[in-house]
Chain A
Amino acid sequence: MKRLLTGAFAVLFAAAVPGFAQTVDDLNIQIHGFATQGFLYTTNNNILTTNSSDGSPNWFEGVVNISAQPTPKLRVAVQGRFESFGNATNQISLDYANADYKVNDFLGVRFGKVKSPSGLFNEMQDIDPSYMWSLLPQSVYPIGSRNSVLSHFGGVVYGRVRLGKHLGKLEYRGWAGQRVLNSGDGYFVPQVEKGLILPNGFSVPVSGAALRWKTPLTGLTLGISDYRQQHGNALLQYPAFGLSGHETIEALTSPNFFGKYERGRWMLAAERSRVPATVTIALTGVPNSNIFFDLRSWYAMATYKVTDKFTVGAYNSQAFDRRLPPGPAHYQKDWDVSGRYDFNQFIYVKAEQHFLDGTVLSYDTNLNLGGLKPTSKLTILKVGVSF
């Protein structure tokens, strides 16, 4: 699948770019990028992949985007990323590399490595300049495992339909392809820390659809999306004991329901999602180990533009794992207050305070060897530049 897409992308790019008698200006080649530097401090526990209880400045990401538009309906773009986040350091990755052909407002197609357009914020959850928060609500957009849902190799079909003068507009997205995760992906960190390695990574077919209804009430958008992941199986190794076998993730569906209302200086949004999964670790000569989780999550947020440059906001984010026994380990409740100041269109700073209760998300066991305390406060400061 990857080879096919890479070939198709290369052919399209080759046909679109140099073959035409176009100047560089005609191709509208653009280079954009952004970089952010964050600082985290927690009163209890080390959060995410950082030693935050000592104060950690180890959170950097840099992104470069190159795009060209050889014809008004055709775009090609590639975006790369360097990220260093605590003990997940020096990771260089390809955000996307795709060609986009928009026939008209009703129909467009994007293919290559593409962003998966599920939920309210999935496509932009790794684009820090796009939103006011330093951390999006972790219940629905956990940063540690975001790579597992951000993009896929395949395609997206998209468009919008007018429903009539008094019924608003409906935007649709449909996507399918192959999700490819390497062994170092955040999703696999807990098992990698236990010594379980996926030498070939994990590759699985995925598909999904999303509808966004721009209602007749100006500023109100309601939406639903559904993400489906097929049964996946990957080679697994346990070098410490010389064992090998397979890791299996059963087919799963993950629905999201969301709404957003923007009026004047206010933005209100809410989203609910569910991620149920069954993972089996099968090593030769050892009884199978099954891991179940059924994460039910939601958040509600509000932001207010105090001035054109200064925005404040707050959200409440909650997640519960229905498969775990009651107690702090089966939930996370997070109250957040945030502020963002844009000095100009290139430089901004963010400050954020979280009040965390529960430990089902966001904690790396290896960084909390003394055990987890049920509550913590998290302070985040961030500076970003974009061009």
Chain B
Amino acid sequence: MNQLIVKLLFAAAAATSAASAHAQMIIVSSNVKASEISKSDLKDIFSGAASTAGSTHVTPILLKAGPVNDEFLSSYIGKSDLAFRTGWRSLVFTGQATMPRSFESDEAAVDYVAHNPGIIAYVSKTAPHDGVKVITVK
């Protein structure tokens, strides 16, 4: 009985750990010098409040609505997709920003980052990512 309880506890802990691990990675163009970024800076960049990673000017791009997008916004920005896009529209209509480009798939986002300088994006952790740099979030 005790062994069963211990096994159940281990299983629950493993499940919790898997759920809390982020299912996406942050990628940047190869010219971006930074190799890591703080969660606060990442939030500022994807909210339109900042545009520098390390010392490089960066432009964020987005994925269209989906699990990877929703989890990124929930984990790093603290907003739903609806609130996030409303926030960007507010910046657009007040003349403070241009809406980030949105891509249909990980592949399209990775391809855009690989072929354009100064881009930052999030894609699924399992997505192939040749030609781009993965940075860690502190």
* Complex: A77 Cα to B59 Cα, angstroms: 17
Chain A, 328-384, CB within 8 A of any chain B CB: 342, 344-345
Q: Report Cα–Cα, A104/B54, bound state, in Å.
A: 11
Contact in complex: B99, A32 (CB < 8 Å): yes
CB pair A104–B57 under 8 Å, yes or no, is yes
Choose among A72, A75, A130, A344 the residue that contacts B93 (Cβ–Cβ < 8 A): A130
Query: On chain A, which size bracket covers the interface?
Result: 35 or more
A2 at the interface (CB under 8 A from B): no
| B5-43 at interface with A (beta carbon < 8 Å) | none
Residue on A nearest B93 in the bound complex, by CB? A127
Give the number of A-B contacts (CB < 8 Å). 78
Given known contacts A72-B118, A160-B50, A77 and B86 CB-to-CB distance under 8 angstroms: no
- Return chain A residues, CB-CB under 8 Å to B90: 124, 127, 129-130
For A113, give the chain B residue with the smallest CB separation: B95
CB neighbors of A among B74-122 (8 A): 80-83, 85-86, 89-90, 92-99, 101, 118
At the interface, yes or no: A35 with Cβ under 8 Å from chain B? no
A34 contacts the other chain (Cβ, under 8 Å)?
yes
| B57 proximity list for chain A (CB < 8 A) | 72-73, 104
**B69: interface (CB < 8 Å):** no
Residues of B within 8 A of A342 (CB): 82, 86
Looking across the interface, which residue of chain A has its beta carbon closest to that of B65?
Answer: A345
The answer on a CB contact under 8 Å between A105 and B93 is no
Residue pair B96, A65 in contact (C-beta under 8 Å): no
Counting CB contacts under 8 A, is B124 at the interface? no
A309 and B82 CA atoms in complex are apart in Å by 8
Residue A28, interface by CB 8 Å: yes
**For residues 125 through 180 of chain A, which have their beta carbon under 8 Å from a beta carbon of chain B?**
127, 129-130, 160, 171
Expressed in whole angstroms, the minimum distance between the Cβ of B78 and any Cβ of chain A is 9
As a 0/1 sequence over residues 89 to 109 of chain A, the CB contacts with chain B under 8 angstroms (1 = contact) are 000000110101010110000
Bound CA span A181–B118, Å: 41
Complex alpha-carbon distance, A79 and B89, angstroms: 13
* Distance of B101 from chain A, by nearest CB (Å): 7
Q: Bound complex: CA of A75 vs CA of B97, how far in Å? A: 8
**If the complex has contacts A65-B92, A160-B49, are A75 and B98 also in contact, measured as CB distance less than 8 A?**
yes
**Which of chain B's residues have a CB closer than 8 A to the CB of A171?**
49
Which residues of A, 266-315, contact B by the 8 Å Cβ criterion?
305, 308-309
Q: Which positions 38-72 of chain A face chain B at CB distance < 8 Å? A: 63, 65, 67, 69, 72
Asked if A319 is an interface residue, CB under 8 A from chain B, the answer is no
A342 to B96, CA, bound (A): 23
Contacts A28-B101, A104-B57, A345-B86: A127 and B118 contacting too (C-beta < 8 A)? Answer: no
Q: Once the chains are docked, how many angstroms separate the CA of A105 from the CA of B48?
A: 11
A104 & B52 in contact (Cβ 8 Å cutoff): yes
Q: Is B51 touching A102 in the complex (CB atoms < 8 A)?
A: yes
Nearest-CB distance from A1 to chain B (Å)?
A: 19
* CA–CA, A28 and B98, complex, Å: 9
Check B59 against A63 for contact (C-beta < 8 Å): no
CA distance A77 to B98 in the complex (A): 9
**Residue of B49, B90, B98 ringed by the most chain A CB atoms within 10 A:** B98
Known contacts A160-B49, A342-B82: A114-B95 contact under CB 8 Å: yes
A-side contacts of B89, CB under 8 Å: 32, 34, 129-130, 386
Are A77's CB and B50's CB within 8 A? no
CA distance A295 to B57 in the complex (A): 44
The CA of A314 and the CA of B19, in the complex, are separated in Å by 36
A67 to B97, CA, bound (A): 9
Q: Which of B49, B94, B98 contacts A30 (CB 8 A)?
A: B98
Chain B residues near A123 (CB-CB < 8 A): 94-96
**A105 B51 Cβ-Cβ under 8 A:** yes
A129:B93 contact, CB within 8 angstroms: yes
Question: Is A308 a contact partner of B98 (Cβ separation < 8 A)?
Answer: no
Contacts of B51 in A (CB 8 A): 72, 102, 104-105
CB nearest neighbor in A for B85: A345
Establish whether residues B98 and A34, one from each chain, have CB atoms under 8 Å apart when the complex forms.
no
Chain B hits for A105, CB < 8 A: 50-52
Q: From residue B9, how far is it (CB to closest CB) to chain A in Å? A: 30
B82 partner, pick from A77, A130, A308, beta carbons under 8 A: A308
CB distance from B98 to the nearest CB of A (A): 5
- Roughly how many angstroms separate A305 CA and B118 CA in the complex, as a whole number? 35
Q: What are 22 of the A-B contact pairs (CB < 8 Å)?
A: A28-B98, A28-B101, A30-B98, A30-B99, A69-B98, A72-B118, A75-B97, A79-B95, A96-B95, A102-B51, A105-B51, A127-B94, A129-B93, A130-B86, A160-B50, A171-B49, A305-B83, A308-B82, A342-B82, A342-B86, A345-B85, A386-B89
Task: Identify 4 new A-B residue pairs, CB closer than 8 A, beyond the known A79-B95, A104-B51, A104-B52.
Answer: A127-B90, A127-B94, A342-B86, A386-B89
